[in-house]
A and B are shown apart, each in its own frame.
Chain A
Amino acid sequence: MTASTHVSSDERIRSLEGHARDIRRAIVSMVHTAQSGHCGGSLSAADVVSALYFDLMNIDPSKPRMPGRDRFVLSKGHACPVLYAALALRGYFPVEELSTLRKNSSRLQGHPVSTYLPGVDATAGSLGLGFAQAVGMALEGRMLKADYHVYALLGDGELNEGVVWEAASTAAKFGLEKLVAIVDRNNLQNDGKADDIMPMEPIDKKFEAFNWRVLTMDGHDMAEVLATLEASNEPTGRPTCIIARTVKGKGVSFMENKREWHGKAPSDDEYSMACKDLEGGCT
Chain B
Amino acid sequence: MSLAKSKTPTRRALAERMLEAGSERDDFVVFESDIGYSTYSYLFGDAYPERYFNLGIAELGTMATAAGMAAEGRPAIVCGYGVFLSMRALEAVRSFICYPRMNVKIFSSHGGVTAAVDGVTHQATEDIAFMATLPGMTVLAPCDSASARASFDLALGIHGPVFVRLMRDPLSELYPEGTEFSIGGCHTPRKGDDITIVSYGDLVFQALEAAELLATEGINAEVIDMYSIKPWDRQALRLSLERTKALLVVENHQRKNGLGYELAAWCMREGVSVPFAQLGLDDTFAESGSYPLTIQKFGMDAASIAAAARKLAAAKY
Q: Which of B32, B58, B122, B297 contacts A162 (CB 8 A)?
A: B58
Within A181-205, the residues touching B (CB, 8 Å) are: 189-191, 197-198
The number of residue pairs between A and B whose CB atoms lie closer than 8 Å in the complex comes to 95
The interface size of chain B toward A, counting residues with CB under 8 Å, comes to: 30
Please determine whether A157 and B287 come into contact, CB atoms closer than 8 angstroms. no
**A-chain residues with CB within 8 Å of residue B32 when the two chains form the complex:** 191
Residue A104 at the B interface, CB < 8 A?
Answer: yes
Please determine whether A197 and B34 come into contact, CB atoms closer than 8 angstroms. yes
The interface size of chain A toward B, counting residues with CB under 8 Å, comes to: 31
Please determine whether A191 and B58 come into contact, CB atoms closer than 8 angstroms. no
Please determine whether B118 and A110 come into contact, CB atoms closer than 8 angstroms. yes
Please determine whether A104 and B287 come into contact, CB atoms closer than 8 angstroms. yes
Residue B288 at the A interface, CB < 8 A?
Answer: yes
Residue A43 at the B interface, CB < 8 A?
Answer: no
Q: Smallest CB-CB separation from B293: which chain A residue? A: A104
Within A255-273, the residues touching B (CB, 8 Å) are: 259
The interface bits of chain B over 55-70 (1 if a CB of A lies within 8 angstroms of the residue's CB, else 0) are 1111011000000000
**A-chain residues with CB within 8 Å of residue B38 when the two chains form the complex:** 190
A105-B289, A157-B34 known; A128 and B121 CB under 8 Å? no
Q: Which of B42, B57, B288 contacts A104 (CB 8 A)?
A: B288
Within B24-72, the residues touching A (CB, 8 Å) are: 32, 34-38, 42, 54-58, 60-61
**A-chain residues with CB within 8 Å of residue B83 when the two chains form the complex:** 126
Q: Which of B57, B119, B289, B290 contacts A125 (CB 8 A)?
A: B119
Q: Smallest CB-CB separation from A125: which chain B residue? A: B121
Please determine whether A160 and B35 come into contact, CB atoms closer than 8 angstroms. no
**B-chain residues with CB within 8 Å of residue A160 when the two chains form the complex:** 34, 55-58
Please determine whether A127 and B293 come into contact, CB atoms closer than 8 angstroms. no
A160-B56, A191-B54 known; A102 and B119 CB under 8 Å? yes
CB distance from B235 to the nearest CB of A (A): 40
Residue A208 at the B interface, CB < 8 A?
Answer: no
Please determine whether A110 and B117 come into contact, CB atoms closer than 8 angstroms. yes
**B-chain residues with CB within 8 Å of residue A106 when the two chains form the complex:** 288-289
Q: Compute how far the CA of A162 lies from the CA of B58 in the bound complex, rounded to whole angstroms.
A: 7
A104-B293, A105-B287, A106-B288 known; A189 and B117 CB under 8 Å? no
Residue B74 at the A interface, CB < 8 A?
Answer: no
Please determine whether A124 and B121 come into contact, CB atoms closer than 8 angstroms. yes
Q: Which of B55, B57, B84, B119 contacts A189 (CB 8 A)?
A: B57
Q: Which of A36, A37, A111, A198 contacts B56 (CB 8 A)?
A: A198
Q: Smallest CB-CB separation from A194: which chain B residue? A: B56
